[in-house]
Chains A and B, each alone.
Chain A
C-alpha cells in the first residue's frame, strides 16, 4: 500500500490529522492497533476545557474551542459537543486569591475568556452546590463532548475524503529508505513519504523507531459514571484547589473525575483502580454537592494516559528523522485540542509551517545537552 502520509494511532489527534490532510487532498493511511478511540481518546471524561490552561497552550486551546462550536457542521457528524460552560469552584479566600493572581496574568497576555464569579453568581448557576463555597471562575465557551463519538466523527469525515483507516493493525517496524518511509504492519508493507506519530501512550516507542527519545510516563486517571439522576447541574464543574470534577450529561448520567490516579500497566494494555482513592473522591463529591449522596455509580474505569514531565504535549517535527512529525503526550488534557492539532499537523506536513508557536512543545526539550 502507498500513501502520501502514514499516521500511527487512531485517537482524536490521529483522526483529526487524517481528516485535515485528506480534506486538503493528501492520500492518507492511518494505522490503529486496537480500534478507533480505544484508549485515552475514548475513555477520557469528555471535557472540552479552555479554562485554566497552561499559558503555553492557550493559543491552541482558544483556536480549538472556536472549532468545537461548529464541529458537528464541519464534520457533518455528531461529536456530542454541548457548550454548557465550565465553572471551577473556590472554597475559601486562598482559592479566590489564586484566581485573582491568574487573572492578572491572563489580562496582561490579552486573554479575556475567564470570568471570576462571586458566591451569589455561583449559587445562581449551580443551585445544588454546597452553600459554604465562596465563588469561582467560569468560561462560557467550554463544555463537553462524547469522546468516542467525536473521534469517530473525525474518522468518518476523513474516510469521506478518501483516508484509509486500518483498525486492528499494528506497526511492527518502521524505517526510512531513501525518500520513503517503509512500514511493516499487520496489514503488510506500507510506503509513505511522510509519517505522523499520534500513538498516545505508545508514542515514545514509535518515536524511538525513528531515533527520537522522549521521557514519556504513564498514569491512569480514574473515572466514575452514575446511573441517571434528575438534572441538577448544567455546566461542567471543577474546583480551584481540590481533586474534584464532574459533569452531568443531557441523558442525566453524571461523570465524576477529578484526577485521582489508578495504576497504569502499559505492557498489558491495562489499568487497575485504587478503590480507597475512589472512596475519597466520593466523599469530596458529596461534600461539594450533597445531592450526590443519592447518586448510584454504574461504572468505574481508568484510561491509560501518557504524560510529559511538564504536562505539555509534544507537537512538531521529529529531530532525528526527515519527513516525520509528532503529536502526543497530552498529559490527560488533549481531547479538547484535537481539532486544532489535526490542523497544525496537516499544515506542518503540507507546508512545513504553522501559525502557532510550537517552541514549548518541541520533542527535544528534555534532551541532555551535558553529561
Chain B
C-alpha cells in the first residue's frame, strides 16, 4: 500500500509542507533523522536545554511556533528515521530502531537541507577543528559550547554563532573574517534589491555591530589560513594586510557558506545545474519545486540555498502542487493559493543575491593550495594524490574516484565532492558544469548488515489508503 505523500526531512520546508497538506486533508508520512522536528536551523527550538533560549534570537523563537503547529497537524511524524535511499520508483528506505523499513509513495517531497562548504586549509582534519554549524548544533541541542575558540571564515551564520556565544558570556578568542575586500564593491549594485526586505539587512548589520561592541579581536581581509598543531588544533595562523597573525585556541570553527546536501537527489538521479553565483549545484525544478522526476519535489536549502523563510515558502508551494497532482485541488486553486509565497520568494531572492555576492568565498579557500593538504578526509587523499590521478588519465570525477579512492569513504563525497569538481575544472580549464559531479550510490549513510537484514515494509493506516 502506498502513501499519498512522503516527506523526507522535518526542517522548515518539510514542516511547512506538512501543514499545507494537512489543511487539505492529506496526512503525510514524515521521516526525520533527528530526535525532534526542526531541522538544523530550528534544531531543538521546542525543547531547548538552554537556560534562556531568547539569546538565540527571535527567528529561533519563531521556529518553536512552527514546530508546535506542525506537531498538532496530525502528520505521521517518525523521529530518528534515517532515510538512506529514495528511488525513482517511489520506494523509500530508511533505518529506524535497528532495522530497515521500506515505504512507497505517490508523491515524494525531499527536504535534505544544507551542509557547510568545505574549507580545505592545512590542518583542517585535526581534532578541535569544526564547522560553525557544529557549534550551533552543540549549543542548540545540548547547550555545549567551546570556551576560547577562534571563528574563521565569512557569512551570516558565522557572525550569528559568534554573537550568540558573546550573549551567553562564552569567551571568543577571535573572529577572523575572510570576506574579500573586493566583494563589497561587487555586491554594491545588488544592494537595492536587498533593500526590498530591509529587516534582513538590519539583522545582519546589528550582528556585526554587536560583535564589534563586545570588544573581541576581529581580523578582516584574512587569507592564507592554516590550523596550527600536530595531534590536535592549537591555534590559527593567517595573513591580513597588516601581516601574519597567530591566535592560540584549542577549537577552531570554520565557515564560508552553505550548499545543498546533494547526496539524496544525486543518488536518485534527478537533474542538477551548476549555479555560478552560489558556487554549488542546484536541483533543476519548476516554480513549485517539482524535479525532473514528476513525482519528486524538492524544497528548502536542499534544492538551492534560500534560507529558513524561503524554505517554508517552497515547502508550501511544493505541497500545493502535490495536492494538485493528487487531485485534491485543481490547478486554478493551486495557482491562487501560491501567489503570496511566489511573491515573497522573489523578494527574498533579491536579498539572497546580495548575500551570495557579498560573502562569495575566496577561491583560494575552496580548493587546497598545498600538495599535502587533504581533499578526501575519509580516504586521506591529498591535492598531490589527485593531481597524480589526473595526470594518469582520470579527467572525470568518477574516474578519479575509481583510480584514487577519493570520495569512496563513508561521507560519500560530501566533503571532497565540491573540491574535486572545482579542481578538475581548473585543471581541464573548463567550467564546473562540464566537469560534473560524482555518481552517487545508496545508502546515504553507513548501514549495518544487521540493520539491512531486518527488513520491513510500512503501509499507511487503512483509512488513508486509496
The verdict on A88 contacting chain B, using a C-beta distance below 8 Å, is no
Q: Nearest Cβ in chain B — how far from A32, in angstroms? A: 11
Decide: B399 and A278 in contact? CB cutoff 8 A: no
A300 with B392: in contact, given A283-B453, A293-B448 (CB under 8 Å)?
A: no
A297 with B443: in contact, given A152-B392, A272-B89 (CB under 8 Å)?
A: yes
Expressed in whole angstroms, the Cα–Cα distance for A275 and B446 within the complex equals 15
Across-interface contacts of B102 in A (CB, < 8 A): 275-276
Expressed in whole angstroms, the Cα–Cα distance for A156 and B100 within the complex equals 43
Residue of A with least CB distance to B269: A270
A297 with B446: in contact, given A155-B393, A282-B452, A282-B453 (CB under 8 Å)?
A: yes
Interface string of B383-411 (1 = CB under 8 A from A): 00000000011111011001101001110
Interface string of A254-293 (1 = CB under 8 A from B): 0000000000000000101101101100110110000011
Across-interface contacts of A42 in B (CB, < 8 A): 402
Decide: B449 and A282 in contact? CB cutoff 8 A: yes
Across-interface contacts of B395 in A (CB, < 8 A): 35, 167
The verdict on B412 contacting chain A, using a C-beta distance below 8 Å, is yes
Expressed in whole angstroms, the Cα–Cα distance for A148 and B408 within the complex equals 14
Residue of B with least CB distance to A37: B402
Interface string of A29-43 (1 = CB under 8 A from B): 000000111100010
Expressed in whole angstroms, the Cα–Cα distance for A200 and B403 within the complex equals 21
The verdict on B199 contacting chain A, using a C-beta distance below 8 Å, is no
Across-interface contacts of B452 in A (CB, < 8 A): 275, 278-279, 282, 297
The one of B91, B93, B441, B448 that contacts A295, using a Cβ cutoff of 8 Å: B448
The verdict on A24 contacting chain B, using a C-beta distance below 8 Å, is no
Expressed in whole angstroms, the Cα–Cα distance for A293 and B448 within the complex equals 7
Number of A positions contacting B (CB below 8 A): 35
Residue of B with least CB distance to A256: B449
The one of A275, A278, A298, A300 that contacts B409, using a Cβ cutoff of 8 Å: A298
The verdict on B442 contacting chain A, using a C-beta distance below 8 Å, is yes
Expressed in whole angstroms, the Cα–Cα distance for A218 and B452 within the complex equals 27
CB < 8 Å A-B pair total: 93
The verdict on B450 contacting chain A, using a C-beta distance below 8 Å, is yes
A286 with B449: in contact, given A148-B402, A272-B88, A276-B102 (CB under 8 Å)?
A: yes
Residue of A with least CB distance to B88: A272
Q: Nearest Cβ in chain B — how far from A12, in angstroms? A: 13
Decide: A152 and B450 in contact? CB cutoff 8 A: no
Interface string of B443-466 (1 = CB under 8 A from A): 100111110111100000000000
The verdict on A176 contacting chain B, using a C-beta distance below 8 Å, is no
The verdict on B85 contacting chain A, using a C-beta distance below 8 Å, is yes
Expressed in whole angstroms, the Cα–Cα distance for A251 and B398 within the complex equals 20
The verdict on A119 contacting chain B, using a C-beta distance below 8 Å, is no
Interface string of A115-149 (1 = CB under 8 A from B): 00000000000000000000000000000000011
Interface string of A240-259 (1 = CB under 8 A from B): 00000000000100000000
The verdict on B307 contacting chain A, using a C-beta distance below 8 Å, is no
The verdict on B193 contacting chain A, using a C-beta distance below 8 Å, is no
Residue of A with least CB distance to B99: A279
Decide: A275 and B455 in contact? CB cutoff 8 A: yes
Across-interface contacts of A368 in B (CB, < 8 A): none
Decide: B441 and A297 in contact? CB cutoff 8 A: no
Decide: B446 and A296 in contact? CB cutoff 8 A: yes
Decide: A275 and B85 in contact? CB cutoff 8 A: yes
Across-interface contacts of B392 in A (CB, < 8 A): 152, 156
Across-interface contacts of B85 in A (CB, < 8 A): 273, 275
Decide: A285 and B399 in contact? CB cutoff 8 A: no
The verdict on B148 contacting chain A, using a C-beta distance below 8 Å, is no
Residue of A with least CB distance to B455: A279
Q: Nearest Cβ in chain A — how far from B189, in angstroms? A: 39
A300 with B393: in contact, given A275-B93, A285-B449 (CB under 8 Å)?
A: no
Across-interface contacts of B180 in A (CB, < 8 A): none
Expressed in whole angstroms, the Cα–Cα distance for A148 and B402 within the complex equals 6
Q: Nearest Cβ in chain A — how far from B294, in angstroms? A: 16
Expressed in whole angstroms, the Cα–Cα distance for A296 and B451 within the complex equals 9
The verdict on A321 contacting chain B, using a C-beta distance below 8 Å, is no
A292 with B403: in contact, given A155-B393, A156-B392, A279-B100 (CB under 8 Å)?
A: no
Decide: B453 and A286 in contact? CB cutoff 8 A: yes
Decide: B443 and A300 in contact? CB cutoff 8 A: yes
The verdict on B74 contacting chain A, using a C-beta distance below 8 Å, is no
Decide: A148 and B447 in contact? CB cutoff 8 A: no
Across-interface contacts of B442 in A (CB, < 8 A): 273, 299-300
The verdict on A294 contacting chain B, using a C-beta distance below 8 Å, is yes
The verdict on A301 contacting chain B, using a C-beta distance below 8 Å, is yes
The verdict on A209 contacting chain B, using a C-beta distance below 8 Å, is no
The verdict on A187 contacting chain B, using a C-beta distance below 8 Å, is no
- Could you list some 14 contacts between A and B, CB below 8 A? A35-B396, A36-B393, A148-B403, A152-B394, A155-B393, A275-B85, A276-B102, A282-B452, A286-B450, A294-B449, A294-B450, A298-B408, A298-B410, A299-B443
Leading 9 A-B pairs by shortest Cβ distance: A148-B402, A279-B455, A296-B446, A282-B453, A299-B441, A282-B452, A283-B453, A297-B447, A293-B450
Given A38-B398, A286-B453, A298-B409, list of 13 further CB < 8 A pairs? Answer: A35-B396, A36-B393, A152-B403, A167-B395, A227-B409, A275-B93, A279-B453, A282-B450, A294-B448, A298-B408, A299-B408, A299-B412, A301-B441
